[in-house]
Amino acid sequence: MPRVSQDHLDARRRQILDGSRSCFARFGYEGATVRRLEEATGLSRGAIFHHFKDKESLFLALAEDDATRMADVVAEQGLVQVMRNLLDASSETSPALGADWLGTRLEVSRRLRTDQEFRERWAQRSEQLTAATRARLLWQKQAGNLRDDVDVDVLTAYLELVLEGLLSHLAMGLPAQHLRPVLDLVEESVRRHRTR
């Protein structure tokens, strides 16, 4: 039997993650049956579960992949930009974080609330966003752009709470068009104000 290249394995894994992202976003964790995952990925259950131990491992890998993508946006543009991308995703596909990403992130939030085992497994992976946000804020502080009367850890927690509130708002299907000025206010609230 011919040996499969690492590039082929990586491409297949990416195909599974991309297909399952839309499936989980559309049907939720419970509704993403193996049959639906097969349809969404265009692969058999054998191919899917060759790369992932089970559905939970697949979902965790997907959530971790999305967290990495989000941390990349945070590192380059900050957590408020992630929130702006979420607003874009709630109305149309955003190139940085698409509508499927929003659905997956909402499913992660739901499972964190209802599934203790998932919460424990996710805790090991969730530090990436916090670390990226904190690093970005420290960089902004060193550049003289961040307010200096509030500790960076407090600002990190503040921005993460705003993100969670935004996710709850979007999960409830509430209107999002009026939230852009709110995010402008959030961004302004962490900036250093220079006296003239």
Sequential DSSP letters for 39-95? HHHTS-HHHHHHHSSSHHHHHHHHHHHHHHHHHHHHHHH-HHHHHHHHHHHHHS--S
**Mean pLDDT across 64-85:** 89
Look at residue 167 in the predicted model and tell me its pLDDT: 84
Cβ within 8 Å of residue 43, ≥6 positions away: 12, 15, 16, 19
Q: Is the pLDDT of residue 3 over 50?
A: yes
SS3 191: strand
Q: Report which of 65, 67, 63 is spatially closest to residue 82, judged by C-alpha positions.
A: 67
Q: Is the pLDDT of residue 10 over 90?
A: no
Instruction: For residue range 105-118, list pLDDT tens digits in order.
Output: 778 888 888 888 88
Instruction: For residue range 11-61, list pLDDT tens digits in order.
Output: 899 999 999 988 988 888 889 999 999 999 999 999 999 999 999 899 988
Q: Report which of 1, 2, 23, 19 is spatially closest to residue 11, judged by C-alpha positions.
A: 19
Answer yes or no: are the C-beta atoms of 171 and 105 closer than 8 Å: no
Supply φ then ψ for residue 71, to 5 degrees: -65, -35
Q: Report which of 141, 157, 147 is spatially closest to residue 191, judged by C-alpha positions.
A: 147
Which CATH code fits 55-190?
1.10.357.10
Look at residue 194 in the predicted model and tell me its pLDDT: 67
Average pLDDT across the chain, whole number: 86
